[in-house]
Structure 1
């Protein structure tokens, strides 16, 4: 496609960063996507006298590559809380059908129950709960928030956010279980085997472990297909538990000091 680029800012400009004269009504403060005066949609390169809203420089037209998604082919998944289900399952699809414009309709409507806060309900107006800006200001890494919110995702029934439980699950599951397994296994492979798992002769116990892990992975994939993300996460934590138990039983820190067979 051709798109406006600001050479001073060294970037292609999104529509909202371009302003100029509307090609239809000559309004001088039209945006790169729509004119607020006549209401017509605009392609940014059609603007007369375009200006970069960042530096007020004059952008130039340059070719650029875009990735397009063939929507009639990528099934549509909608994620929402349960109170939005009537609109998105009945009213909006009916509107799309009524438009007779061959819109892609929702194939999978993924609705959760409610996430409550401690012993009550979240309420932004009353300042009850923790929200995005507050979460950022706590200094707790984003991945910990992601983990905990997926861990208690209210898939089948309401669940509750708890600060004490956040700390507990972070320490017991994310650190001591998953993090511990990845760190122990990774550090051991790096320290003694150059970061590569060597060829090894599998014992009966090894094969039993692989069978358990394979079963967990198969279940993990099936749950993800059904968008049961919380339950899928449990499978990952179960795999790392199997791994930690395997390490504890085999004590590789002792066997590495033995003969070549032990190694």
Structure 2
């Protein structure tokens, strides 16, 4: 039986808070400040990378997509596409809500094992680069007692969100300013747990961090270092080898969406299908 408000003694007050008006004002502010995000509706054409059709307006128009992580067009690579089609025929699509239910999927395990051969360092996979930064930084901050997080002022939003969710005290140092960072470390003292977070290449400005200086500290300070190299490794491989090399940092964030990983994944997909 449906229960009406009057059945439980509730009578709506017409003079109560106007929630709609409050929300409308907030949305209006986003529009006025040009912060209301509008997405473009794209339809890609097979075999015509990087061309696509923009369906945002009344009439679709052909455009060139410049803002994509698919740098080499691996999303339309014949070997990759054939491997995907073959995987569907061999294993059938498996729709699950959680990785632990009902069991682990062999095709994904094979991909993970191949991924682990790329380095001797221990790895953990996330659904996206944003989640990787956010979850790792927030978790480290919660695990380390009385942790102080020191962050470059131009760090990515995902790193900033990780700091916020950690609940830790934070200090922001001037972009790539080693002297400012050193002064903040001295203020923090030697006994306190400290986490330094920064990027190898800052994608918006193209700046390269002096990583060698950021990860080598006197033993009495011993900060933990976290490096986001999502915009570097594989995208500019020679530069990465010369300047970055995430193994120098205690924890490093990488991505599967950049050039070198795309090449490796494509080769794996083709070879795995043939075998």
Alignment TM-score, normalising by the size of structure 2: 0.29
- Structure number with the higher helix fraction is 1
> Relative contact order: is structure 1 or structure 2 higher (C-alpha 8 Å, sep ≥ 6)?
2
Q: Which is higher, the Rg of structure 1 or of structure 2?
A: 1
TM-score normalised per structure 1:
0.29
